[in-house]
Structure 1
Amino acid sequence: MDNAWILGLVGTILSFILLCRSFWAKISRSKYRNQLPLGTLGWPLIGETLEFISCAYSDYPESFMDKRRSMYGKVFKSHIFGSPTIISTDAEVSRFILQSDAKTFVPSYPRSLTELIGKSSILLINGSLQRRVHGLIGAFLKSAHLKAQITKDMQKYVQESMATWKDNQLIYIQDEAKQIAFEVLVKALMSLDPSKEMEFLRQSFQEFIGGLISLPVKIPGSQLYRSLQARKRMVKLVHEIIQDRRKSSSPSNPRDVLDVLVSDTSGQFTDELISDNMIDLMIPGEDSVPLLITLAIKYLSDSPKALHQLTEENMKLKRQKAKLGEPLCWSDYMNLPFTQNVITETLRMGNIIIGLIRKAMKDVEIKGYLIPKGWCVFTYFRSVHLDEQHYDWPYKFNPWRWQDKDTGSCNFTPFGGGQRLCPGIDLARLEASIFLHHFVTQFRWVAEDDSVINFPTIRLKKRMPVWVQRREGPLAFVPFPRECEGTTRQTS
Structure 2
Amino acid sequence: MEFSLLFNVFALVCILIASALTFWLVKPKSLVGSLPPGTIGWPIIGESFEYLKKGWNGKPQEFIHERMAKFSPQAFKTSLFGAQTVVLCGAAGNKFMFSNENKLVTAWWPASIDKIFPSSNQSSSNEEMKKMRKLLPHVLRGEALRDYVGTMDSIARRHLDSDWSNHDEVTVFPLAKMYTFWLACRLFISIEDPIHVAKFSKPFELIASGIYSVPINIPGTSFNKAIKASEQIRRDLRIIIKQRKIDLAENKVSPTQDVLSRMLLTPDEDGKFMHEMDVADKILGLLIGGHDTASITITFIVKYLAELPEVYDEVVKEQMEIMKSKEPGELLNWDDMQKMKYSWNVACEVLRLNPPLQGAFRQAIADFTYSGFSIPKGWKLYWSAHSTHRNPKYFSDPDKFNPLRFEGNKLTPYTYVPFGGGPRMCPGIEYARLEILAFMHNLVTRFKWEKVIPNDIVIVNPMPVPEGDLPIRLYRRET
TM range (shorter): 0.7 to 0.9
CA shift digits 1:2-28 (9 cap, x unpaired):
xxxxxxxxxxxxxxx9xx999759859
Q: Does 1:433 align with 2:437?
A: yes
Counterpart in 1 of 2:189? Answer: 190
Does the CA-based 8 Å contact 2:57-2:458 persist in structure 1? no
Q: 2:346 aligns with which of 333, 342, 351?
A: 342
Structure 2 distance, partners of 1:73, 1:123, is 34
Report % sequence identity: 27
- The equivalences for 1:299-310 within 5 A come to 299-310=304-315
Structure 2 distance, partners of 1:77, 1:157, is 46
Counterpart in 2 of 1:457? Answer: 463
Does the CA-based 8 Å contact 1:35-1:370 persist in structure 2? yes
Structure 2 distance, partners of 1:210, 1:232, is 15
DSSP 3-state at the match of 1:400: helix
Structure 2 distance, partners of 1:110, 1:79, is 15
Does the CA-based 8 Å contact 1:359-1:374 persist in structure 2? yes
Describe the shift of the 1:385–1:263 C-alpha distance in structure 2 as closer, same or farther (beyond 3 A): same
Counterpart in 1 of 2:318? Answer: 313
Does the CA-based 8 Å contact 2:394-2:412 persist in structure 1? no
Counterpart in 2 of 1:124? Answer: 125
Superposed displacement of residue 311, structure 1: 1.1
CA shift digits 1:180-208 (9 cap, x unpaired):
11111122211222255433320111111
CA shift digits 1:356-414 (9 cap, x unpaired):
10111111323333321111101111221111111111111111121113568200111
Q: Does 1:152 align with 2:150?
A: yes
Letter aligned with residue 416 of structure 1: G
DSSP 3-state at the match of 1:97: helix
Structure 2 distance, partners of 1:358, 1:448, is 40
Letter aligned with residue 124 of structure 1: S
Structure 1 distance, partners of 2:362, 2:428, is 21
Q: Which deviates further from its counterpart, 110-119 or 173-182?
A: 110-119
Superposed displacement of residue 123, structure 1: 8.6
Describe the shift of the 1:267–1:326 C-alpha distance in structure 2 as closer, same or farther (beyond 3 A): closer
- The equivalences for 1:209-220 within 5 A come to 209-220=208-219
CA shift digits 1:30-87 (9 cap, x unpaired):
6644331111222222121122122221122222222211111131111111111111
DSSP 3-state at the match of 1:462: helix
Superposed displacement of residue 217, structure 1: 0.3
Counterpart in 1 of 2:4? Answer: none
Does the CA-based 8 Å contact 1:177-1:290 persist in structure 2? yes
Does the CA-based 8 Å contact 2:241-2:276 persist in structure 1? yes
Counterpart in 2 of 1:280? Answer: 285
Describe the shift of the 1:102–1:138 C-alpha distance in structure 2 as closer, same or farther (beyond 3 A): same
DSSP 3-state at the match of 1:41: coil
Structure 2 distance, partners of 1:166, 1:31, is 61
Which ranges of structure 2 fall in alignment gaps of 5 or more residues? 1-16
- The equivalences for 1:138-149 within 5 A come to 138-149=137-148
Does the CA-based 8 Å contact 2:145-2:431 persist in structure 1? no
Letter aligned with residue 162 of structure 1: L
Structure 1 distance, partners of 2:196, 2:276, is 19
Superposed displacement of residue 131, structure 1: 5.0
Describe the shift of the 1:130–1:466 C-alpha distance in structure 2 as closer, same or farther (beyond 3 A): closer
DSSP 3-state at the match of 2:95: helix
Q: 1:472 aligns with which of 447, 465, 478?
A: 478
Superposed displacement of residue 429, structure 1: 1.1
TM-score, scaled to structure 1: 0.84
CA shift digits 1:136-157 (9 cap, x unpaired):
21232133233322x2222222
Which ranges of structure 1 fall in alignment gaps of 5 or more residues? 1-16, 474-492
Superposed displacement of residue 166, structure 1: 4.5
Structure 1 distance, partners of 2:417, 2:135, is 22
Does the CA-based 8 Å contact 1:113-1:213 persist in structure 2? no
Describe the shift of the 1:331–1:365 C-alpha distance in structure 2 as closer, same or farther (beyond 3 A): farther
Structure 2 distance, partners of 1:373, 1:89, is 19
Give the number of equivalent residue pairs. 450
- The equivalences for 1:350-369 within 5 A come to 350-369=354-373
Q: Does 1:56 align with 2:51?
A: no
CA shift digits 1:266-286 (9 cap, x unpaired):
447333332222112112432
Structure 1 distance, partners of 2:104, 2:40, is 23
Q: 1:417 aligns with which of 410, 414, 421?
A: 421
Structure 2 distance, partners of 1:455, 1:22, is 27
Q: Does 1:403 align with 2:407?
A: yes
TM-score, scaled to structure 2: 0.86
Structure 1 distance, partners of 2:180, 2:21, is 50
Q: Which of structures 1 and 2 has the bigger CA Rg?
A: 1
DSSP 3-state at the match of 1:210: helix
Does the CA-based 8 Å contact 1:39-1:78 persist in structure 2? yes
DSSP 3-state at the match of 2:207: helix
CA shift digits 1:126-177 (9 cap, x unpaired):
3xx765542321232133233322x222222222232344577002222222
Describe the shift of the 1:438–1:146 C-alpha distance in structure 2 as closer, same or farther (beyond 3 A): same
